[in-house]
Amino acid sequence: MKTWPVILIIWAVDMVLTFLQVRVQGLPDGEALQLGLIESIPGTLCTFLLCYWLLPFFIKRRKMFLFALLVVFICLLTSLIMVYLSLPVFCNSVRKVMAAPQMCGLQTMFPGYFIGILFTSGTICGIRFYQEYAKTMIDHEKLRTTHLEAELTQLRDQLNPHFMFNMMNSIHVMIERDASQAADMVLEFSDMLRYQLYDASKSAIPLQQEVLYLQNYVNVENKRRCNELKVACNWDSHLPLCYIPPLILTPFVENAYKHVSQFTDQSNFIRIDLSMEDGTLFFIVKNSKERGPSATEVPSSSKGIGLANVRKRLALLYPDRHLLTIAETADQFVVYLEIKINVI
């Protein structure tokens, strides 16, 4: 349920009740409507300020006690200002319907106005807090489910007999051709497995660790394919200390090697660029592809479960803090990713 319709309904009811109350006492329609607006508009604006600007800010910082004190202070200040400024209008109207106009004053008008605005704002903020809390719990559950799906997918890939057979066969062939290079390949492959088995289960890892895994993955794939691809990698060598979820970048590189072209009469290429600038991670992956119809935006479902999972993880982990574009032309596939990361 949206909160702003509730605020508007309470505002309308408050205005109508005030209008009817003073209208019954004998005030003209114009003055009754003026009093109704003075009574309801400041409280409505105060409630919007508290619910849509201040409450989300303090929820993120988990300072609800400070927010409660701020609610009382803002309602108190709003009541003092509005009663003081509108006192001449109130008193002029009171003199027309009351026999004791001396009862009209700041000390008599302020308590009722303050209690009313505090009750209204507190009630709406309570509803809004429940909505924000429920949304946070739902997002955490989605993130947990998506993370489990990613772990299961990664475990399936780790234990894929076809993948393991290809790697072992490539290492066996390379041992006969170049024992030194085969030894390097075994070390890199073992680092990959260690990363997948131990580090991938963590909620966050240093960015350099993810980059090292990608470098090992590229080296192993290039050796396994006997350097049949033109692979150009540009890794930023001065990355700051920051943390990202494990395997958040890997699916894009895996997808490039999986769908790269296999031309015999022209070059096949993969290009990877990773850099960091002003707290924003830039990651671009391009690969050549077989000739086919071009598309400006490729649905994630058409490229497998890996990209679908990483889309979900990015949406939950970096809401409004990332930009992911996956595009396809007639001869290449391009992934462009920006993530705003907190640098330590």
Q: What's the pLDDT at 343? A: 81
Domain assignment of residue 291, yes or no:
yes
* Structural domain count, the chain: 2
Q: What's the pLDDT at 301? A: 44
Decide which of 138, 172, 201 is a domain's last residue: 138
Q: Does residue 71 carry a pLDDT above 80? A: yes
Are residue 187 and residue 225 in the same domain, yes or no? yes
Are residue 63 and residue 170 in the same domain, yes or no? no
The mean pLDDT of 48-77, rounded to a whole number, is 84
Domain assignment of residue 193, yes or no:
yes
CA angle, 142 as apex, 341 and 195 as ends, to 5°?
Answer: 55
Q: What is the CATH number of the domain that holds 247?
A: 3.30.565.10
**pTM exceeds cut of 0.75:** no
CA R_g for the chain: 32
Q: Does residue 305 carry a pLDDT above 60? A: no
**CB 157, CB 247: distance < 8 Å:** no
Domain assignment of residue 288, yes or no:
yes
Which range marks the domain in which residue 93 is found? 4-138
Residue 270 to residue 225: CA distance in whole angstroms: 13
Are residue 98 and residue 166 in the same domain, yes or no? no
Q: What's the pLDDT at 206? A: 93
Are residue 222 and residue 332 in the same domain, yes or no? yes
Per-residue pLDDT tens digits for 254-265: 889 888 998 888
Q: Does residue 300 carry a pLDDT above 50? A: no
Domain assignment of residue 218, yes or no:
yes
Are residue 335 and residue 200 in the same domain, yes or no? yes
Burial class (CB in 10 A: 0-12, 13-18, 19+), 315: middle
Decide which of 106, 138, 170 is a domain's last residue: 138
278 φ, ψ (degrees, to nearest 5): 55, 45
pLDDT band at 292 (very low <50, low <70, confident <90, very high): low
Per-residue pLDDT tens digits for 175-226: 877 888 888 888 888 888 788 777 777 878 999 999 999 998 898 888 877 7
Domain assignment of residue 225, yes or no:
yes
